[in-house]
Amino acid sequence: MTRDEKITIATAAALTDVSTETVRNWISRGYLPAVRLGPRLIRIRRADLDNLGKSLTH
């Protein structure tokens, strides 16, 4: 996986060992940027997911 790769909410949840609902909450609260590609299609940049852990711990 590259840092610019776009991943699904389910993949982001699996990589961070949280539920998909938690990832959706991070997106809705502005903690995790995401791109809507259609009415139901949401993608997250892997780099943004990697940076999320850094911003929550500092």
Per residue in 6-51, pLDDT tens? Answer: 999 999 999 999 999 999 999 999 999 999 999 999 999 999 999 9
- pLDDT at 52 (0 to 100): 87
Does some domain include residue 57? no
State the total domains in the chain: 1
Could you give the CA distance from residue 58 to residue 41 in angstroms, rounded to a whole number?
A: 31
Does some domain include residue 34? yes
How many CB atoms sit inside 10 A of residue 24's CB? 16
Q: What is the DSSP letter of 38?
A: S
Query: What residue numbers bound the domain in which 41 lies?
Result: 6-52
The model carries a pTM of 0.84
The CA-to-CA distance between both ends of the chain, in Å, stands at: 25
Does some domain include residue 1? no
Does some domain include residue 40? yes
Does some domain include residue 18? yes
Record the tokens describing residue 11, joined without a space. 């993949």
Does some domain include residue 58? no
